[in-house]
Chain A
């Protein structure tokens, strides 16, 4: 079965992001395909590479990046949500004349069309962090 995941909450604020990660791992371990993980609203903070997690905490960003690398899952940050929260890739930093690039390279900034596409092309779309 083809799964996609929608993450709406920021990494530190609730358990939801961790539940999403655990679910994503369970999906691939069970032999299903993880088509896309779409980070929307506060969820885009998962892609902020300038955030420094505490040393005794799980590094959630590296965990997502590893999952993406090993299983080819697409990690997409909603571009409007991301830019609003200071999560910028090179193109957006230049376009908005900001001094830093903050988006982690494993995450791609793209439009809501990618979420609609995930809805169309996945058997299941599962939300975390409402």
Chain B
């Protein structure tokens, strides 16, 4: 895909604040305008990737269903920072299977290879 590549970095836990929702909406908008977009989850943002989420119990929309819908809009590049997982006692096997784990060097490379990085 041609265009100007955009990396959206999610660093916050999924609920409690709605900023990550803003990040997902932007991912869909970028895809709609045919700009290549990738998502990187790090720090508390890695909690967004747990497949079992019962957001209805706190009267909000589940991030899991948003993530599941991304491929329909051609948003397919999802990455997670391994260090953030380690720090929280999480393993890649516990996450959504489409997410690619990256070590610190690969995270650095990912940021370098995108034209624009925005953090949510």
Flag whether A60 is at the interface (Cβ < 8 A): no
| CB < 8 Å A-B pair total | 42
Q: Mark B104-120, 1 if CB is under 8 A from A, else 0.
A: 00000000000010111
Cα A61 to Cα B33 with chains together (Å) = 30
A41 touches B22 (CB 8 A): yes
Q: In the complex where A41-B19, A119-B6, A119-B35 touch, is A112 in contact with B25 (Cβ < 8 A)?
A: yes
B contacts with A: majority SS: mixed
Flag whether A93 is at the interface (Cβ < 8 A): no
Neighbour of A113 across the interface among B4, B22, B29, B119, CB < 8 A: B29
Flag whether B100 is at the interface (Cβ < 8 A): no
B63 CB to closest chain A CB (Å) equals 16
Cα A40 to Cα B8 with chains together (Å) = 15
* 13 contacting pairs across A/B (C-beta < 8 A): A8-B22, A41-B19, A41-B22, A80-B25, A112-B26, A113-B29, A113-B33, A116-B26, A116-B29, A119-B6, A119-B30, A119-B35, A119-B116
